[in-house]
Amino acid sequence: MSESVIPSAPDAAGLAEPARPAPPAQSGTLAVRITRLTLGRSLAADDRVAVEAPLEFQLHHPALGGEAVSFGTTMRTPGDDESLAAGLLYGEGIINRAEDIAAIETSTRRPNVVNVRLHSHLPIDVQISPRRFSAGSSCGVCGTTSLDAAIARAAATRIESPVRVELAVLLSLPARMRESQSKFGDTGGIHAAACFDARGDLLGLAEDVGRHNAFDKLVGENLLAGRLPLSNHVVLLSGRASFELVQKALRAGVAVLAAIGAPSSLAVHLAAASGLTLVGFLRDTQCNVYANAQRLISAGAPRSA
């Protein structure tokens, strides 16, 4: 493998130092040399960025005649690739339980390929349509070949969970998630999806440069551990709540989906129709509840603006 090279930042006099080999990625981050600028000052410094690399999903099944079928490629932060593969296939409806997977294999020889071997008992379409998402790490449903099918499948789901969450607990979750985000602290440029119980205890967290990848890693980890559905849990997203992420939450049986950012219109409509509690703009003192607020317990009565 050839060694990548990062150009050095110029020094204060504007002269660049000789290029040097890039340090190896550690825990999904990479050390880089930067120029930090302020008014009247230029300073060479060290920084870390989130690693983004391709991952191809190869499916193996007896019905495919011994040939591997590519299910597409995504850009992701290396690490937890097995969970990412399991979560993606579950979200897409290719598998319905961990037992549908015979093995998930990654190789140091081909670090950007994950092979998923499916059991023969699993029905599979020989002409299985691959995901078309080779270009981005932020795309979810935009990679599927049938948007209408994805919407119809999600809209048919109903969340009936009776779980109740204290508002004070919900408001405390962003700080708890941030404390556990090792890669975000290093780079400031990576997404997270975290799972909590109704008491606010952190049960799992996944990080990735892609919002959807982080969620798939979280779901895949719980799937392989036999912890789905997440009907008594809260899932917190570090970014916005799009339709694709609500769709994934419904598939995993999530009762309460909260986001640091804003929801989209389609996400709100889908959550309301499916019984999912959807929270946006979650901060330490307030939040907006866009659908099914009955699962949140507040000490004060709601007031109109």
Average pLDDT on 120-144 reads: 57
Average pLDDT on 270-294 reads: 95
Domain annotation covers residue 98: yes
> Which residue is catalytic, options 139, 142, 195, 287?
139
pLDDT at res. 299: 62
Between the alpha carbon of residue 248 and those of residues 189, 253, 291, the distances in Å are 22, 9, 17
Is residue 43 domain-shared with residue 60, that is, in the same domain? no
Is residue 120 domain-shared with residue 179, that is, in the same domain? no
Residue 293 has pLDDT above 70, yes or no: yes
pLDDT at res. 130: 56
Residue 10 — pLDDT band, cuts 50, 70, 90? very low
Is residue 293 domain-shared with residue 183, that is, in the same domain? yes
Which CATH number is 250's domain given?
3.40.140.10
Higher pLDDT, 104 or 134: 104
Is residue 11 domain-shared with residue 59, that is, in the same domain? no
Angle at 57 between CA 53 and CA 62, to 5 degrees: 165
- pLDDT tens track for 137-187: 444 444 444 556 666 777 788 999 999 999 999 999 999 999 988 765 566
Provide the token pair at 262: 């804003």
Average pLDDT, the chain: 83
pLDDT at res. 273: 92
Domain annotation covers residue 148: no
Is residue 72 domain-shared with residue 42, that is, in the same domain? no
Domain annotation covers residue 151: no
pLDDT at res. 41: 92
The total number of structural domains in the chain stands at 3
Cα distance between residue 220 and residue 214, in whole Å: 10
Is residue 78 domain-shared with residue 119, that is, in the same domain? yes
- pLDDT tens track for 16-72: 343 343 444 445 888 889 888 889 899 999 988 888 899 999 999 988 877 888 899
Is residue 190 domain-shared with residue 281, that is, in the same domain? yes
The model's pTM is 0.82
Domain annotation covers residue 232: yes
Question: What SS3 state is found at 203?
Answer: strand
Determine phi and psi for 184, rounding to 5 degrees.
Answer: -65, -40
H-type alpha helices, the chain: 81-91, 147-155, 167-179, 182-187, 211-224, 243-251, 265-274
Cα distance between residue 232 and residue 163, in whole Å: 5
Is residue 169 domain-shared with residue 270, that is, in the same domain? yes
Domain annotation covers residue 32: yes
Domain annotation covers residue 155: no
Cα distance between residue 137 and residue 58, in whole Å: 18
Is residue 199 domain-shared with residue 85, that is, in the same domain? no
pLDDT at res. 89: 95
- Helix (H) / strand (E) element for 101: namely strand 101-106
H-type alpha helices, 5-103: 81-91
Cis omega (within 30 of 0) on the bond before 229? yes
Let me know: does 207 contact 192? Beta carbons within 8 Å. yes
Cα distance between residue 178 and residue 155, in whole Å: 32
The residue range of the domain holding 93 is: 53-138
Radius of gyration of the chain from Cα atoms? 21
Domain annotation covers residue 92: yes
Is residue 57 domain-shared with residue 46, that is, in the same domain? no
- pLDDT tens track for 64-123: 877 888 899 999 999 999 999 999 999 988 999 999 999 999 877 888 999 999 999 998
Contacts of 63 (CB under 8 A, 6+ apart): 120, 124, 126
Can you say whether the dihedral through the CA atoms of 92, 221, 71, 134 is positive or negative? positive
pLDDT at res. 27: 58
Cα distance between residue 234 and residue 221, in whole Å: 16
Domain annotation covers residue 303: no
Is residue 121 domain-shared with residue 177, that is, in the same domain? no
Is residue 242 domain-shared with residue 260, that is, in the same domain? yes
**Residue closest to 205 by CA, chosen among 161, 237, 243:** 237
Which CATH number is 87's domain given?
3.10.20.10
pLDDT at res. 123: 86
Partnered with residue 115 across adjacent β-strands are 58, 105
Average pLDDT on 214-221 reads: 97
Amino acid sitting at position 148: D
Does 287 qualify as catalytic in the annotation?
no
pLDDT at res. 135: 36
Distance of CA 62 to the CA centre of its chain: 30
pLDDT at res. 30: 85
Residue 298 — pLDDT band, cuts 50, 70, 90? confident
Share of the chain above pLDDT 70, in %: 78
